[in-house]
Structure 1
Amino acid sequence: MFCFFCDFFGYSLIMTVTMFVLCFFWSIPVSIQLLGPTNRSNGYAWSNMDYGNTEMSTEGLLSKKCYHILLVTFCFRGHFNPASGVARALSKRSHKVTVIVTDQCSDLVEKYMPEVTDYHIRPVVPNINLPSDPFEAMKRFDEFNRLNNTIKMFEMLDHFINSSGSQFDLIYGNAVSSGIVLAGRKHNIPVVSQVVGPLMPTAAKYPSLLHSTDLPMENTEEQPSLWSVVRNAIYISIYEAAVSYKVFNALQDFHAAEGWEQIPYGFGRFPFSYVQKYSLLISHGAPPLTRAEDHFYRNAVSIGFIPDDIMYPPLSEELSDWLEKADGPVVFISLGTVIALTQEESETMFSQLVSQKRFFFIWAVTTPMLQSLNISKTLFLSRHLIVGRYLPQGNILRHSKVKLFVTHCGANSVQDAVYEVKPMVTYPGFGDQPLTSNLLNSKKVAKLLKTFTYKDMEPLLNEQLKEPNYSQMIARLSVMKREQIKQGGFSKAVTVIEDYIENRTVLNRSDNFDNVIGFPLGQMMFICSTTAVFSADNAL
């Protein structure tokens, strides 16, 4: 692992100390090119035009052709749900959609993509349960991103495309999967990659490490503590060593084997910066939360979020009756399908929610959590608590008696909260969830929950429900909802896909890489220095 340091700056102790000082006390506003120019077109229509920050009207631009789209999606609901919405919209516009999923969610295809009859089960990118601690979660990301999402994903798609006998006009993939982009490039098929959650900062706009953190903050208006800054730098360095650099090496080996251009490591975040260069990004959600207002992201377009009836199934009779009988504020809790609470956390929260009398709670949990709580039925009901698996989140939030949403800040959950205008209490897990939590906090529509106990949650719920605070949050969320709807939703995604296939949309391949997801020079020096120390310690 010590050679990792050689690839960046060599063994010079003087250089390491210098880089540490440069980055830690000021940020050098210099951006480095992430990926060098290439003359390989791979069947795409390239130009220096920018795409992403323009208003787009779908009126009069609907394609008259029917295309064959290969859609590859994960089973994580945060990724599957928006992909299924795009599939439904494509089918509605008479395009043929072929879907690839793992066997863990084959039943979801029939439920959420009823018009898709051509779907295939492949054992790639299995669901994983990640601990809520970001450092522990990072340890499992190498296998997920490098092995599954890059190497195995490419091998699977390469074999599928070669053996299918079909001519695909476009691949709809995911921004975390560089293997999908590799397969598209090899087979000269354009790729659209969906982004759920906020787009990460670009090199030109990345804030100083001393003034920002990707870890959750209670008060985003204050400067992060020194300990938070150090933890954030360590977190980034672990990502660089354990994920980004290993994905880069896998991509570099593949490029060499195919005779393609070399990929300088640069100062990007792999796989995201690679996917951003070689595919068109479709961003789901409200732009105030998915892309910073002063950022320009090349090769990216927002489609917002507008749910349909399939995405928002009706409430069961049991849920409806329980809600009607609730004579106090109802709070919905959902931490998604990936974060795994400990047995003690689950049992403690369950006993506290059952015994309290102040609020009415609906708690959506996973099957393993139901089992850990010794709940044999799919739905547990008491006077002040419902616990169930895969509850209809959208229509629960839509109910007038539901006042607050305790969320892990997953992309789907935030979209639903914005669409149904429900203030939040955030308990973020890993990845972009702490960033989303900080964004919601800064927009004054949410408060951070530090520990998952009712003792800590109750004062936050009371604070959020106080007037005029609650009405002010409703007003702010209403503005976000209008912006989210204005983007066009899933039908806009179809128009974007059609435009891309028909060369009405072109990717930006200019040599200006300021707008690529990554880091400025000064901060990357510090991050790489920290990474070198981390890698050397692990090698010993």
Structure 2
Amino acid sequence: MKLALLCVLVAVLAGGAAGELAPPQASYKILMLLPVSSRSHRNVFLPLAKALAERGHKIVMLTSDEKPIKHPNIYKFEHGHKFFDEEALNMFDYLNDPTGGFSLMKDLFPTVARKLYDSPQFQELYNKRKNFDLIIIDQTFNEVAYPFAYEMPFITVAAGGMDPRHSAVLGNVLLPSYASNLLFDYPTPMTVWQRFVNTVAHIGMAVYWRHWAVVPELQKEISARFPDLPPLLEIERNQSLGLFNSHFSISKTVPLLPSQVEVGAMHCRPATPLPEDLESWISGAGPEGVIYFSLGSVARGNSMPAKYRQAFIEAFHKLPHRVIWKYEEDLEGLPENVMISKWLPQQDILGHDNVKVFITHGGQLSTQESIYHATPLLALPIFSDQPRNAFFVKNSGFGEMLLWEELTVEAVVDVLTEITTNPKYKENVLTASRQLRDQLTTPQERAVFWTEYVIRHKGAPQLRSPAAQLSWVEFFMLDVLFFFHVAVFISIRILRVVMRGISTLVFGRGNHKVKTQ
């Protein structure tokens, strides 16, 4: 009997050493809320949802996505509203927006709240929220879902990676002396001017979103419907954990709290065989290889201004490479070395040895996929965090970046020639790919473990930093510094009075006048 128990113990320890999770203690009911999300954000949630479902948990996912999820333990609840209609949005309109395109949320958020909470199905789900063991909320754009989290254990998923605003909510204020802001990145160490600009961006974006333009308008709508509910930002501070779509090998390294878990590239997977037509096109390109071009799911290729589209067509005509271009419509005047398609298996293309460069908008998921598959990048950022990712790509030597206002036929030809002929880009991104893959546990396993951990420990309050409950005055000890300065000022004044008194006693009052006859 003892021998049998010893064998079981050894087996459990061996499984733990190999990174395998122990069986769950129970089947939990988990509500995932991403009512305002793009396709890329849903692609971050799906690996976690499927991994949890495979362990026997019951998942209800609230989303606007019409694509079915084929798993018996996942129920997809569609609210019927398309707040991110990729076909209607033209993100090129926000190229020069100083907020990175976030300004469009100012008027959208109150409308989102009205439409969602007016829905009988949505209201029914809200009324049943306490039947769930845990709520998981998409951290970006989904403050509208915070009423669900009131008096409930909940965690957030940061699909866009490390957001200084989100980190500060958890009690970890990332200093602008080294941490990137949400919109752009600087190489380190920063100059005095760069630290100044970075500080303004850190503070400005947080104030604009949370206290000035966006959340206050949403708060008015929520307060009108739920007058007894605490403020949304107060509910937000009670989250147990944040799962961040980042990893130190492919983003700037920052200190983390126990309540901050990196699960970057959770959606990445090894490449699978390509369809015959794509395999033939890529393999037949010879040693020059293939350039893959996609602007993601939100910034569609057919929304690109005509002058940029024509510049790419002319540039591709001058290059010896074949090109695969994700484009949603037919194009006239394409050179013979260009193939277009409305949909493409991106990770399988990036994983092909003969793909030399990925021309990308610099979205978080596309950037991670390219690094995971060791493909150099040419980043053309449009909005949101894309400029930050593009700067990181350039500063890390994974590729180059071009601004759209700089885009010409010659610029495209020159930069693609540089990336395909200079081996440093491939070497750098290959090194990063090896570092990203070299992990004790997979991102999915970490996400699943910590999700179940929060449920097992009833919200896991032990993870939360006391700093999360402090005001800015308390956190930076501005009140203490104020009293310290007052004390120093008073001490100096007292010292001056004392010294003046001593001087009077020793030397007498004033100077003796010398009388002259």
Same fold (TM over 0.5): yes
State the match for 1:418 in structure 2.
371
- Please, which of 271, 284, 288 is the counterpart of residue 245 of structure 2? 284
- Residues 500 and 101 of structure 1: CA distance in aligned 2, closer, same or farther (over 3 Å): same
Partner of 1:499: 453
Q: Which amino acid aligns with 1:443?
A: S
Q: Which runs of 5+ in 1 are unaligned?
A: 1-54, 264-270, 376-380, 522-540
Greater relative contact order (Cα < 8 A, sep 6+):
1
Report the Cα distance in structure 2 between the residues aligned to 1:173 and 1:224, rounded to whole angstroms: 37
Task: Mark the CA change 1:125 to 1:476 in structure 2 (over 3 Å): closer, same or farther.
Answer: same
Do the aligned partners of residues 165 and 344 (structure 1) sit closer, same or farther apart at CA in structure 2, a change above 3 Å counting? closer
Shift, 1:416, TM fit: 0.9
Give the alignment of 1:50-449 within 5 angstroms: 59=20, 61-73=22-34, 74=36, 76-102=38-64, 105-106=65-66, 108-110=67-69, 113-115=70-72, 118-124=75-81, 126-128=83-85, 129=89, 130-131=91-92, 132-133=94-95, 134-135=97-98, 137-145=101-109, 147-148=111-112, 159-162=123-126, 167-176=131-140, 177-185=142-150, 188-201=151-164, 204-207=173-176, 216=184, 220=187, 233=200, 237=204, 240-241=207-208, 244-249=211-216, 250-251=218-219, 254=222, 257-261=226-230, 275=236, 277-290=238-251, 292-297=252-257, 299-307=259-267, 314-327=273-286, 328-339=288-299, 341-345=303-307, 347-353=309-315, 355-365=317-327, 367=328, 370=329, 373=331, 383-449=336-402
Code of the aligned partner of 1:478: S
Displacement of 1:491? 3.3
Map residues 474-513 of structure 1 onto 2, 5 A cutoff: 474-483=429-438, 485-503=439-457, 506-507=460-461, 508-513=463-468
Aligned partner letter, 1:288: S
The structure having more radius of gyration, on CA atoms, is: 2
- In the alignment, structure 2 segments of 5+ residues that lack a partner are 1-15, 477-517
Separation in 2, partners of 1:331, 1:408: 14
AA aligned opposite 2:162:
L
| TM-superposed deviation, 1:401 | 0.2
Counterpart residue type for residue 320 of structure 1: E
Q: Secondary structure at the match of 1:481?
A: helix
- What are the Cα deviations for residues 203-251 of structure 1, in whole angstroms up to 9, with x where unaligned? 6433259x9776557x846968979977995897477446652444244
Report the Cα distance in structure 1 between the residues aligned to 2:48 and 2:42, rounded to whole angstroms. Answer: 10
Change (3 A) 1:208 1:64: closer
Residue number in structure 2 paired with 1:31: none
Deviation at 1:320, TM superposition (A): 1.2
Instruction: Quote the Cα distance in structure 2 between the aligned partners of 1:275 and 1:179.
Output: 11
| Cα distance in 2, alignment partners of residues 427 and 496 from structure 1 | 35
Task: Provide closer, same or farther for how the CA distance between residues 85 and 231 of structure 1 changes in structure 2, counting only shifts above 3 A.
Answer: closer
Between 395-404 and 509-518, the greater mean CA deviation after superposition? 509-518
* Separation of aligned partners in 2, 1:474 and 1:517: 39
Contact kept in structure 1, 2:138 and 2:156, CA below 8 Å: yes
The secondary structure found in structure 1 opposite 2:442 is coil
**CA offset digits 1:333-390 (Å, max 9, x no partner):** 111122254331453145325522322211223x3xx26x479xxxxx9631121122
Calculate the TM-score normalised by the size of structure 2: 0.71
In 2, Cα distance between the equivalents of 1:515 and 1:252?
A: 24
| C-alpha separation in 1, matches of 2:136 and 2:205 | 30
Contact 1:408 1:433 in 2 (8 A): yes
Q: Which residue of 2 aligns with 1:465?
A: 420
Relative distance call for 1:223 and 1:281 in structure 2 (3 A) is closer
Task: Pick closer, same or farther for the CA change 1:192–1:235 going to 2, 3 Å.
Answer: closer
CA distance in 2: counterparts of 1:222 and 1:117, whole angstroms: 46
Q: The residue matched to 2:47 in structure 1 has which SS?
A: helix
Is the 2:38–2:84 contact (alpha carbons within 8 Å) kept by the matching residues of 1?
Answer: yes
- SS where residue 256 of structure 2 aligns? coil
Deviations 1:154-199 (A, max 9, x none): 66686132566992222222002122232121xx432222112331
Matched letter for residue 429 of structure 1:
I
Say whether the 8 Å CA contact 2:105–2:214 is kept in structure 1.
no
Aligned length: 437
Q: 1:412 deviation in Å?
A: 1.5
The 10-residue stretch of structure 1 (161-170 or 87-96) with the greater mean CA deviation from structure 2: 161-170
CA displacement, residues 417-463 of structure 1 (integer Å, 9 cap, x when unaligned): 12111121111222222222222222221211123444322222222
Q: Which amino acid aligns with 1:455?
A: E
Deviation, 1:392, is: 0.4
Report the secondary structure of 2:101's partner residue: helix
Paired position in structure 2 for 1:52: none
Q: 2:9 — aligned with what?
A: none
Deviates more, 1:351-360 or 1:323-332: 351-360
Is the contact between residue 286 and residue 415 of structure 1 (CA under 8 Å) also seen in structure 2?
A: no
In 1, are the aligned partners of 2:114 and 2:221 still within 8 Å (CA)? no
Structure 1 residues 335 and 430, CA gap change in structure 2 (3 angstroms): same
Structure 1 276/463 Cα, relative in aligned 2: closer, same or farther at 3 Å?
A: farther
